[in-house]
């Protein structure tokens, strides 16, 4: 009898508390962390690879989910703005490849360095810039991270060296940054990214040679999204085992759609480099949903079915979400809330990017050289001179 | 035909006439990013029209090799901005082959085609005009057409010319306008400038897209200032037609040269220098150069950067009133 009364009073007191949904969430037990199995990486010249299981904490999981969702929505917003002609020029979107940028960042420290090619919006975000600055740079406004002068392909941040237009040109740069890391002795590494198309450029092999010869702490990363613009990897490369292309440099082939796989591989690679063993090569097998750039519909060299298949089976955000929900690391509602917050953030940023004024005309001549007194820039006719200020 | 169609027609004629001719470059097989090679692979086979991987230095080096054996190599560099990895091959190998082998070998049957110039939204790496870098290199020829009819004739001349040629195609003109272009092959001679419009007061010189700008400036000058302009399309950058330009300047006494590339070291400086040497006493006013600013090609400042008709008109006016 007493037990029954106690039970009834509990129920009654529970019912009178408002709001009921919050009570529900608070009383639900989330796991603090969960262990997941990840795909084994193919190895080249390595005895062992990264671990095949990893622990994901709830906190990390939510953080990665939010970051990936932000990158995804930011890219989709950029797509929208481009179609409205608010963003012009070239725009290379990385939706589908979110696990790469967020996973890589998860495996390194903010003091490490990163350089990539032109599909760089995701990396710009994960390296610390706000969506506002990125979108404003795309629209070419003053508030952009490069003051509106660089555009889509030229975004930079602390320890993030861009954002490079010429294919393959960033790889020797990355090797150079790695040399500086070694020289400064602060145990930093440099992640040097390039794509499957760039993997056939000669300067990449020059960089491999220098990095291996001088044992530079350089992690070469080939983001293999199966198509170099419109050319599939089979038609461009004599060997599509990009992780073996470093030849004398050890390599790993990583599932680039699984953020945990990318994270573990990056941790492994960073530890390898930091121990002074020299460079290492990662091939991230990933996929982009959009075409090469906004001028490419993306369906003339691949089928819509292929894109749909990847979207339904290997979407990185979906994979993480399923894992987290199935092991009680988070609830579906919680993740939906994050989605809503992210959408709002992107909307605000897009508003800013559209409303911000463009840089003033005088800045056309700025920052050509570093010069003490501003010097005059000669131009279209000898009676109009700009000043180059630095 | 418009410009890209006239290029396709020229390539079609070449492949038909010359059984050793091959076309290669990035994405040329399906037709190219500007549709200049549409239909050629189907017509001539995948052995003659084929894609290369992403490697400009490799493409040009490979082309030089083909040309040295005597076959005709037509290489495409997807954008002129990407030609720089191949700069060494062009300048050190292609240009000097005949000279260093004492005429034993040459790569004269090499032609490199590349889209060139500003396009409105190209920003730093899809808008460059690098003709000045190559003008400094004896041994190669650099040619830039202004229209579909010119493009076909000049391209066929480049392909048949026994020297390595670089053919820059103004990408903004690819679909800009169409002209009557003969289907049969025809040649327009290289190293010959064309006087498009005769005049008596000022000589205006340009090439590629800029020719249309100065043509407009000439009509503005006629209308507003009563000034009669002689408009010349240089067509071949090197070796350039010194005689035509000088003859014109001797007649008019004033010269204005205009190009999109930056002012310092741009090809206008070479023309200016030579003309003042040859025609010093005939000049009524200093030679005017209306060119791009000495900055990298800007992202959003493009309309302010390019030497548009107003800047040219202004310079012309100041020259008249000197």
Answer yes or no: do B85 and A384 touch at CB < 8 A: no
Q: Residue A243 and residue A195: Cα distance in Å, rounded?
A: 12
pLDDT band with cut points at 50, 70 and 90 for residue A28: low
Complex ipTM, two decimals? 0.73
Question: Using an 8 Å Cβ cutoff, are B318 and B288 in contact?
Answer: yes
Reading the block at residue A161, the tokens are 């060296």
Average pLDDT score over chain B: 93
Residue of chain A with shortest Cα separation from B260: A380
* pLDDT over threshold 50, residue A203: yes
Q: Where residue A22 falls among pLDDT bands split at 50, 70, 90?
A: very low
A24 pLDDT more than 60: no
Catalytic residues of B: 56, 126
**Residue A158 burial (CB count, 10 A):** 10
> Strand, coil or helix: what is B191?
coil
Lowest average pLDDT, out of A51-55, A380-384, B106-110, B183-187, goes to A380-384
Give the chain A residue nearest B258 (alpha carbons).
A380
Confidence of residue A390 (pLDDT cuts 50, 70, 90): low
What is the Cα–Cα distance from B89 to B202, expressed in whole angstroms? Answer: 40
So what's the pLDDT on residue A5? 58
Question: From the CA of A162, how many Å to the nearest CA of chain B?
Answer: 15
Q: Are residues B315 and A197, on separate chains, in Cβ contact within 8 Å?
A: no
Are β-strands A251-255 and A280-285 bridged in parallel, bridged antiparallel, or unpaired? parallel
Contacts of B289 in chain A (CB under 8 A): 381-382
Distance between CA A356 and CA A238 in Å, rounded?
48
- Cβ distance A236 to B263 less than 8 Å, yes or no, reads no
DSSP state letter for A34: E
Q: Which residues from B are below 8 Å from A153, CB to CB?
A: 123, 125
Residue A381 near residue B288, CB atoms below 8 Å: yes
Is B234 within 8 Å of B242 (Cβ atoms)? no
Q: Which residues of A touch B31 (CB under 8 A)?
A: none
Return the pLDDT at A7: 53
pLDDT score recorded for residue A41:
93
Burial A176-214 (b: 16+ CB within 10 A, else e): bbbbebbeeeebbbbbbbbbbbbbbbebbbebbebbbee
State the best of B85, B89, B266, B299 to mutate against chain A, taking most chain A CBs within 10 Å.
B299
Q: In the predicted model, is pLDDT for residue B165 greater than 90?
A: yes
Domains annotated for chain B, with CATH where assigned, are: 3-173 (3.40.50.970), 194-321 (3.40.50.920)
Vertex B278, ends B91 and B230: CA angle to 5°? 90
Collect all residues of chain A within an 8 Å Cβ-Cβ radius of residue B288. 381-382
- Residue reference for tokens 């800029």: B210
Tell if the CB–CB gap between B85 and A229 is shorter than 8 Å.
Answer: no
Helix (H, G, I), strand (E, B) or coil at A184: helix
DSSP secondary structure of A46-62: -S--S-SEEEEEHHHHH
**CB distance B54–A236 less than 8 Å?**
yes
For B153-162, what is each residue's pLDDT tens digit?
Answer: 999 999 999 9
How far apart CA B132 and CA B245 sit, in angstroms, is 18
Question: The tokens 């009524």 sit on which residue?
Answer: B284
User: Would you give the DSSP letter of residue A194?
Assistant: E
Task: Give the pair of three-digit tokens for residue B21.
Answer: 């001719």
β-strand pairing of B229-233 with A53-57: unpaired
**How far is the C-alpha of A338 from the C-alpha of A147, rounded, in Å?**
30
Residue A159 has pLDDT above 80, yes or no: yes
pLDDT band (50, 70, 90) for residue A8 = low
Per the prediction, chain A carries an average pLDDT of 88
Nearest CA in chain A to B307: A380
Helix (H) or strand (E) segment spanning residue A387 = strand A386-388
CB contact under 8 A, A140 and B307: no
**Nearest CB to A381 within list B124, B300, B315:** B315
Look at B307 and A380 and tell me if their CB atoms are within 8 Å.
yes
Which residues of A fall within a CB distance of 8 Å from B318? 381, 383
* Total Cβ atoms within 10 A of residue A226: 17
Name which of A111-125, A373-387, B285-299 the model is least confident about: A373-387
Residue B4 is predicted with a pLDDT of: 94
Given a cut of 70, is residue B178 above it in pLDDT?
A: yes
- Please state the rounded mean pLDDT for residues A217-226: 95
Residues of B in contact with A151 (CB under 8 A): 123, 299-300
Q: Per the CB < 8 Å rule, is A379 touching B55?
A: no
- The dihedral over CA atoms of B313, B314, B320, B321, expressed in degrees to the nearest 10, equals 160
- Please report, for chain A, the start and end positions of each structural domain, with discontinuous segments joined by +: 43-364
The torsion angles phi and psi of B305, rounded to 5 degrees, stand at -80, -40
CB contact under 8 A, B294 and A379: yes
Return the pLDDT at A2.
58
For residue range A288-346, list pLDDT tens digits in order: 999 999 988 888 889 999 999 999 999 999 999 999 999 999 999 999 999 999 999 99
pLDDT, tens only, B181-240: 999 999 999 999 999 999 999 999 999 999 999 999 999 999 999 999 999 999 999 999
For residue B94, give the DSSP letter.
I
A381:B305 CB<8 A: no
Q: What is the least distance, in Å, from the CA of B46 to any CA of chain A?
A: 13
pLDDT score at A25: 47
Q: Scanning every residue of chain B, which has its alpha carbon at the shortest distance from the alpha carbon of A384? A: B311
Classified as helix, coil or strand, A72 is helix
Using only C-alpha atoms, chain B has a radius of gyration, in whole angstroms, of 19
Contacts of A384 in chain B (CB under 8 A): 311
> Residue A16 has what pLDDT?
46
pLDDT, tens only, B35-69:
999 999 999 999 999 999 888 999 999 999 999 99
Residue B27: list chain A partners with CB under 8 A.
Answer: 229-231
pLDDT above 90 covers what percent of chain B? Answer: 86
The domain defined by A43-364 folds into: Rossmann fold (3.40.50)
pLDDT at A18 exceeding the cut of 70: no
**Under 8 Å CB-to-CB from A267, ≥6 apart: which residues?**
A50, A107
CB–CB contact A386 B263 (8 Å): no
Distances from the Cα of A237 to the Cα of A336, B41, B66, angstroms = 42, 21, 21
Total length of chain B: 322
Please give the Cα distance from A114 to A10 (Å, whole number).
56
Chain A residues bordering chain B (beta-carbon distance below 8 Å)? 88-90, 140, 148-151, 153-154, 165-168, 197-198, 200-203, 228-231, 235-237, 300, 358-359, 361, 363-365, 368, 377-384, 386, 388
Per-residue b/e over B147-176, b at no fewer than 16 CB within 10 Å? bbbbbbbbbbbbbbbebbbbbbbbbbbbee
Return d(Cα A40, Cα A334) in angstroms, integer. Answer: 31
Nearest to B58 among A148, A151, A202 (CB): A202
A66-104 pLDDT, tens digit per residue, is 999 999 999 999 999 999 999 988 899 999 999 999 999
Q: Which residue of B has its CA nearest to A146?
A: B299
And the tokens for B54? 């992403």
Determine the pLDDT at residue A385. Answer: 66
Mean pLDDT of A11-39: 62
What is the distance of C-alpha A141 from the center of its chain?
23
Range in A24-28, A144-148, A382-386 with the lowest mean pLDDT: A24-28
Contact B133, B120 (CB under 8 A): no
Between B294, B299, B314, which is nearest A378 by CB? B294
Interchain contact, B55 vs A380, CB within 8 Å = no
Helices (H), A56-120: 58-83, 98-107
- The strand pair at A218-224 and A280-285 is best described as parallel
pLDDT in tens, B121-145: 888 899 999 999 999 999 999 999 9
Structure tokens at B276: 């003042």
What local confidence, expressed as pLDDT, does residue A237 receive? Answer: 92
What is the chain A residue with the closest CA to B266? A379
A254's tokens: 């990583």
φ/ψ of residue A100, rounded to 5:
-70, -55
């Amino acid at each position: 009898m007493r037990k029954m009364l106690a039970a009834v009073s509990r129920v009654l007191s529970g019912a009178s508390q408002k709001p009921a949904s919050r009570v529900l969430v608070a009383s639900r037990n989330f796991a603090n962390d969960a262990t997941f199995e990840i795909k084994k990486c193919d190895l080249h010249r390595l005895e062992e690879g990264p671990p095949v299981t990893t622990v994901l904490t709830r906190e990390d999981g939510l953080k990665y989910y939010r970051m990936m969702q932000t990158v995804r929505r930011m890219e989709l917003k950029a797509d929208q703005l481009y179609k409205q002609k608010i963003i012009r020029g070239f725009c290379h979107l990385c939706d589908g490849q979110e696990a790469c940028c967020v996973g890589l960042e998860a495996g390194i420290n903010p003091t490490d360095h990163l350089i990539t090619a032109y599909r760089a919006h995701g990396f710009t975000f994960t390296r610390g810039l706000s969506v506002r600055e990125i979108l404003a740079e795309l629209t070419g406004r003053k508030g952009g991270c490069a003051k509106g002068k660089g555009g889509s392909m030229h975004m930079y941040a602390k320890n993030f060296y861009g954002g490079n237009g010429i294919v393959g040109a960033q790889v020797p740069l990355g090797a150079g940054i790695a040399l500086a890391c070694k020289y400064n002795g602060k145990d930093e590494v440099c992640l040097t990214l390039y794509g499957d198309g760039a993997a056939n450029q000669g300067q990449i092999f020059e960089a491999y040679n220098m990095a291996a010869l001088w044992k530079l702490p350089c992690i070469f990363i080939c983001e293999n999204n199966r198509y170099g613009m419109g050319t599939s990897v089979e038609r461009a490369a004599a060997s599509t085992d990009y992780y073996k292309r470093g030849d004398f440099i050890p390599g790993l082939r990583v599932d680039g759609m699984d953020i945990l796989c990318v994270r573990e591989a990056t941790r492994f690679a960073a530890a390898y480099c930091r121990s002074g063993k020299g460079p290492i090569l990662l091939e991230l097998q990933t996929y982009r949903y959009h075409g090469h750039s906004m001028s490419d519909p993306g369906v003339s060299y691949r089928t819509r079915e292929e894109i749909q298949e990847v979207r339904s089976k290997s979407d990185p955000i979906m994979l993480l979400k399923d894992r987290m929900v199935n092991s009680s690391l988070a609830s579906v509602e919680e993740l939906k809330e994050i989605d809503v917050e992210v959408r709002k953030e992107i909307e605000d940023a897009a508003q800013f990017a559209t409303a911000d004024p463009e840089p003033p005309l005088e800045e056309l001549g700025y920052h050509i050289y570093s010069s003490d007194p501003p010097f005059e820039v000669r131009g279209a006719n000898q009676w109009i001179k700009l000043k180059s200020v630095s | 035909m418009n410009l890209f169609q006239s290029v396709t027609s020229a390539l079609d004629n070449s492949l038909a006439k010359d059984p050793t001719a091959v076309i290669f470059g990035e994405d040329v097989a399906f037709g190219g990013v500007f549709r200049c090679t549409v239909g050629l692979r189907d017509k001539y086979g995948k052995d003659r029209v084929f894609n290369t991987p992403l490697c400009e230095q490799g493409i040009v080096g490979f082309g030089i090799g083909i040309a040295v054996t005597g076959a005709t190599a037509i290489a495409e560099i997807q954008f002129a901005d990407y030609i720089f990895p191949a700069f060494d091959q062009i300048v050190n190998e292609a240009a000097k082959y005949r000279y260093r082998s004492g005429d034993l070998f040459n790569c004269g049957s090499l032609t490199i085609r590349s889209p060139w110039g500003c396009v409105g939204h190209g920003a730093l790496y899809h808008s460059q005009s690098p003709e000045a870098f190559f003008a400094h290199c004896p041994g190669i020829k650099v040619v830039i057409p202004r229209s579909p009819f010119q493009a076909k004739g000049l391209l066929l001349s480049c392909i048949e010319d026994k020297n390595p040629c670089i053919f820059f195609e103004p990408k903004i003109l690819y679909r800009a306008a169409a002209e009557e272009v003969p289907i049969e092959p025809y040649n327009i001679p290289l190293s010959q400038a064309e006087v498009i419009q005769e005049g008596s007061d000022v000589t205006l010189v340009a090439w590629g897209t800029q020719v249309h700008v100065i043509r407009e400036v000439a009509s503005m000058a006629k209308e507003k200032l009563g000034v009669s302009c002689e408009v010349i399309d240089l067509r071949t950058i090197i070796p350039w037609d010194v005689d035509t330009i000088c003859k014109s300047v001797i007649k008019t006494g004033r010269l204005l040269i205009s190009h999109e590339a930056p002012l310092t070291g741009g090809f206008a400086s070479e023309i200016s220098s030579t003309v003042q040497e040859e025609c010093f006493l005939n000049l009524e006013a200093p030679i005017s150069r209306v060119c791009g600013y000495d900055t990298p090609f800007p992202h959003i400042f493009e309309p302010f950067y390019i030497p548009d008709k107003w800047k040219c008109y202004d310079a012309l006016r100041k020259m008249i009133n000197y």
